[in-house]
């Protein structure tokens, strides 16, 4: 941002407070919180700034599956959702189990305006056999390890991985799923799967491996992060484990606290993901987990697929996209009076970075400008054709939300502006 920009009458929502200020940005830095003039002045009396959001569970599909998404389009989708940093999962082709693949991702992402952090594989090729070289991966630039997309089936392998990762201060993210229990299931096992005659995924699959991971982490006294929590049982177990001092953190996605298995009655594969949409009791439990802090982070598990892949309900791969709708969906809870803006900043910008050991952007004089600027009262309808991802499998398609990121600033530059939004430019 070579010229100066003044964001006048801006509401700023951080993890500890909400305040009003006139934010002056010049040469990429926040120069003042009570600026008077600038080259461009925006009237931001209707706008709220959060620290740039961080999505710690994203599938960029690059390398290897770039028909679905690539690093450039994935980062464009991130910016449109107010996301200035993300962690990308390792189930690419090749998998992220060598320094060369880590460097490829970092190099391709360096000019996107998004702080991309690759997640390395726990096991080579995500095969569950030989452990990856954690030292080499960390030196190359990974932020965590995971075999996301599948579990590490062997408990002793997982126990060793937790210990070895902890020695190197590398977070471990677990995709909790017992494949034998899943046994070909494609939606939640319950009333809807029975009525449709579709093989179901029993919630015991997720609950069992979640319990296993926490037992292993507790035994070794090391951290574990549980991905995409979707069941009542998981929330209750994690809440109890935290009370017992287990070093466990976890995340969920907006679709797990807003939607249920009722969506798959349409036989539309855009509502199929793993773990699946579950029952109302699960939705309520996940929501309660978010509200009481049991669930640390709100992420998306952004998983792009081509429209052709998603055509056949039975054969389609699991996954939905969500970076451009995550803040809007979560703001539903603010509008309902259930969540405060500082809580949203904590779940979507602060905690994910803290878990991964990354610096949290400050909205303070002298800091680099890294902001998600949203109109909390702007009503819009999710149209997959207008999204920035290559994919169209948006789980909230057709839904109307109130609240939307309209400008994203990262590295001190305006990297995204909503073309349809009526910005009020004073000068």
What span, in angstroms and rounded, lies between the C-alpha atoms of 86 and 410? 13
Distances (CA, A) of 330 to 16, 24, 42, 82, 288: 18, 28, 26, 13, 13
What span, in angstroms and rounded, lies between the C-alpha atoms of 303 and 300? 8
What span, in angstroms and rounded, lies between the C-alpha atoms of 147 and 399? 32
Q: Which helix (H) or strand (E) holds 118?
A: strand 115-120
What span, in angstroms and rounded, lies between the C-alpha atoms of 390 and 383? 13
Distances (CA, A) of 215 to 149, 238, 248, 249: 21, 11, 10, 14
Contact 255, 395 (CB under 8 A): yes
What span, in angstroms and rounded, lies between the C-alpha atoms of 175 and 156? 16
Three-state DSSP at 340 gives coil
Residues 6+ positions from 403 with CB-CB distance below 8 Å: 327, 328, 331, 332, 334, 335, 374, 375, 376, 377, 378
Catalytic-labelled residue, pool 62, 301, 375, 418:
301
What letter does residue 329 receive in the DSSP assignment? H
Contact 23, 7 (CB under 8 A): yes
What span, in angstroms and rounded, lies between the C-alpha atoms of 155 and 162? 10
DSSP per-residue codes, 218-271: HHHT--EEE-S---HHHHHHHHHHHHTT--EEEEE-HHHHH--GGGGGG--GGG
Two tokens, residue 147: 């075999």
What span, in angstroms and rounded, lies between the C-alpha atoms of 193 and 66? 32
What span, in angstroms and rounded, lies between the C-alpha atoms of 209 and 187? 18
Distances (CA, A) of 91 to 50, 58, 61, 95, 210: 30, 11, 8, 5, 20
Please indicate whether residue 43 is annotated as part of the active site. Answer: no
The DSSP bridge partners found for residue 302 are 58, 320
What span, in angstroms and rounded, lies between the C-alpha atoms of 180 and 324? 34
What span, in angstroms and rounded, lies between the C-alpha atoms of 198 and 195? 8
Q: Which residues carry out catalysis?
A: 301
């Amino acid at each position: 941002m070579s010229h100066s920009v003044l964001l006048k009458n801006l509401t700023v929502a951080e993890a500890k407070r909400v305040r009003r200020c006139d934010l002056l940005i010049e040469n990429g830095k926040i120069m003042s919180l009570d600026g008077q003039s600038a080259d461009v002045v925006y009237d931001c009396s209707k706008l709220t700034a959060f620290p740039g959001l961080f999505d710690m569970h994203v599938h960029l599909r690059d390398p290897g599956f770039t028909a679905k998404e690539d690093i450039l389009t994935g980062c464009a989708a991130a910016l449109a959702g107010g996301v200035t940093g993300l962690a990308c999962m390792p189930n690419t082709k090749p998998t992220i189990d060598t320094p060369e693949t880590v460097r490829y991702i970092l190099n391709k992402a360096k000019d996107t305006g998004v702080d991309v952090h690759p997640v390395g594989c726990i096991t080579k090729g995500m095969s569950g056999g030989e452990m990856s070289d954690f030292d080499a991966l960390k030196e190359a630039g990974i932020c965590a390890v995971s075999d996301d997309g599948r579990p590490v089936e062997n408990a002793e392998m997982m126990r060793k991985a937790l210990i070895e990762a902890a020695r190197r201060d590398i977070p471990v993210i677990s995709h909790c799923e017992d494949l034998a229990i899943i046994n070909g299931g494609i939606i939640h096992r319950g009333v809807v799967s029975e009525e449709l005659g579709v093989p179901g995924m029993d919630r015991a699959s997720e609950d069992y491996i979640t319990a296993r991971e926490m037992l292993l982490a507790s035994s070794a006294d090391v951290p574990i992060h549980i991905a995409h929590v979707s069941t009542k049982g998981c929330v209750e177990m994690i809440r109890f484990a935290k009370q017992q001092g287990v070093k466990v953190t976890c995340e969920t996605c907006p679709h797990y606290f807003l939607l249920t298995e009722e969506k798959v009655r349409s036989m539309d594969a855009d509502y199929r993901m793993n773990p699946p949409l579950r029952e109302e009791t699960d939705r309520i439990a996940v929501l309660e987990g978010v509200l009481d802090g049991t669930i640390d982070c709100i992420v998306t598990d952004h998983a792009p697929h081509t429209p052709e892949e998603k055509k056949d309900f039975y054969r389609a791969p699991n996954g939905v996209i969500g970076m451009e709708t995550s803040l809007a969906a979560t703001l539903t809870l603010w509008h309902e009076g259930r969540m405060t803006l500082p809580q949203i900043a904590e779940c979507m910008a602060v905690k994910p970075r803290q878990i991964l050991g990354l610096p949290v952007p400050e909205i303070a004089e002298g800091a680099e400008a890294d902001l998600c600027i949203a109109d909390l009262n702007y009503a819009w309808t999710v149209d997959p054709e207008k999204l920035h991802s290559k994919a169209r499998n948006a789980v909230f398609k057709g839904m109307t939300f109130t609240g939307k990121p309209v400008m994203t600033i990262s590295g001190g530059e305006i990297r995204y502006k909503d073309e349809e939004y009526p910005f009020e430019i004073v000068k």
